Amino acid sequence: MSLQNLSRRRLLVGGVAAVTGTAGCSGSARTEADGTTEPSPESVDSPSPTGTPAARLAELTVAEFILYPLSGTHPHVHRKAGRQYVVVRLSTELDRGAATEAVALELDGEAVGLASRQPVPWRKDTVDVAFAVAKDRTVGSGELQSRGSTLRTLSAETISRLNEPPEFDVGEPSVSPAEIGAVETEQATVSFTVANRGDGAGTFGASLSENYVSGSKLVTASLQPGEERELTPSIRIRGEGDVAHVRLDWGVDQWVTEIPVAGTETA
């Protein structure tokens, strides 16, 4: 499958502070999502019609990608070209559907739509909700709302991160070994370069798997603007059938290759 570079943007924003943070909302736990994290210094409750708290804001992050549950089970990287994500973590007794409906993000007074995929529900006591923001827009202000009340006004650091996103170019991957023995199990190493052509620091994310669903692992790399790095992640493959498949998927594109199994003929 041919590769295409992720969309590139050069946006100059006057009077915006430089990006400093690259910690992730769920990234520090498992998703490795990059961006500016706004942990709540004191709990902020959203009101509910009954007077009991409906949601408590725990974290707010700007991320380059999110992890969603592929087939309802397997964590997989989600990213769309020209998009970045504001991810909010809520401590709430509401289920995911109700919690998602209870919060809204506004940028410059305009409502922002939800991401087409929502983050993996890692924990039972929190709900992560992701909003998709176009990278080519210039943001002046924003706030997170719940039931018409303001949960959080976005900080200058978060606005800066939205206005100066990273942009990643992925080089052509290669894999070793070139062949695997029948019924053998071996580590396959994929080598490829990632370059950050954007205006801000960020974390690249991809899913590496042996097949199309199960056994995937997360590959990440945090890069400064202008930085390029070679990545060499590995995954265990099995010599079953004619070929073993290796797949690298970074959301906007993917790379799939076949490793012949010794003693068999490929179709």
Q: 131 in a domain, yes or no?
A: yes
Shared-domain flag, residues 147 and 190: no
The domain of 253 spans 168-260
Q: 255 in a domain, yes or no?
A: yes
Shared-domain flag, residues 69 and 136: yes
Shared-domain flag, residues 52 and 151: yes
Last residue of a domain, one of 163, 190, 225: 163
Shared-domain flag, residues 182 and 124: no
User: Per-residue pLDDT for the chain (267 aa), expressed as one digit of tens each?
Assistant: 333 333 333 222 222 222 222 333 333 223 333 344 444 333 344 444 444 446 789 999 999 999 998 877 788 999 999 999 999 999 988 888 998 999 999 999 999 999 999 999 878 889 999 999 999 999 999 999 988 889 999 999 999 999 999 999 999 999 999 999 998 899 999 999 999 999 999 999 999 998 655 678 999 999 999 999 999 999 999 888 899 999 999 999 999 999 999 976 544
Last residue of a domain, one of 137, 163, 189: 163
Shared-domain flag, residues 175 and 158: no
Last residue of a domain, one of 163, 191, 224: 163
Which of 122, 224, 249 lies closest to 173 in space, CA to CA?
249
Q: 107 in a domain, yes or no?
A: yes
pTM of the model: 0.78
